[in-house]
Amino acid sequence: MRLLSFRTAAGDSYGVATADGVVDLGRRLADRFPTLRALLEAGPAGLDAARAEQSADHALDAIRFLPVVPDAQKIIGIGLNYRSHVAESAGREPPPFPRVFSRWNDSVVGHGEALLRPVASEQFDYEGELALIIGKPGRHIAKQSAFEHIAGYACFTDGSLRDWQQHTTTSGKNFFRSGACGPWMVTADALPDPTALTLASRLNGKEVQHASTGDLIYDIPTLLAYISAITPLSAGDIIATGTPEGVGSRRTPPLWLKPGDVFEVEITGLGTLRNPVVAEEG
């Protein structure tokens, strides 16, 4: 099942993407589950209610995509989590522990929405990533039960301002509308092995990243155990698991995102997240 959040002239909602269009669950289930996060918080009962609604209310091209979970309590990123990315980063060694950072909600847009190349920097880099969305809340999650806590998976663009990232990771990773998540999340039951997927990123149609999601240094169970030792994970929380080699800052000359570009992240079974790049107005 493909769950998404979206906007129409009637307002913000969420639903299921089907072959016929979008089932508007916000309209149908608002009394019980007003948002996608609320649906995920309800656990299996929420997902069962979503599956029971089948008739499309909107054409897919009649909606504006929002980030998959617009009101996620936490958006967590992982740095240097592919050996290939570590190798292209001169002088770097694999980190001894997962490198955890956070993103703010307003730094992320939905599928089809514009990424902003900010006024403050032209060193706007791309990172295509696999993201997971928490379903079952947890604290001190054991590795062997980690997948029980995952509601689904999505494509993620972790746009990074590399010069500001030298100030702090938080600075470089949280520019307004610099990242994206979508177009939807695919529920975990429809994606039994998230470690056997192909991730490909394209800039203006040319492939710039290509990897298997099985190449993570710290795998998904390790990430959930580590992060949940720091903070409780809640339904709707998003964890972006890291990017492989091919980022623009490690090329000669550097390949920065610029106004007029289109960046895409495609992952097996999850679809394609596509975003144009525009200049922020000063």
Q: How would residue 90 be classed by pLDDT, with cut points 50, 70 and 90? A: low
191 and 152 in a common domain: yes
Segment 259-282 mean pLDDT: 97
* Band (78; pLDDT cuts 50, 70, 90): very high
Q: Which CATH number goes with the domain that contains 267?
A: 3.90.850.10
Q: Is residue 98 part of a domain?
A: yes
Q: Which of 85-89, 105-109, 113-117, 141-145 has the lowest mean pLDDT?
A: 85-89
- Please indicate, yes or no, if residue 70 is contained in any of the structural domains: no
d(CA 71, CA 251): 35
Split into its structural domains, the chain has a count of 2
Phi, psi of 198 (to 5 degrees): -100, 125
Beta-carbon count within 10 A of 231 CB: 14
Is the preceding omega at residue 183 within 30 degrees of 0, hence cis?
yes
Give the domain extent around 50.
2-65
Residue that terminates a domain, selected from 65, 88, 113: 65
- Map tokens 């880099």 to a residue: 125
Q: Are 144 and 214 contained in the same domain?
A: yes
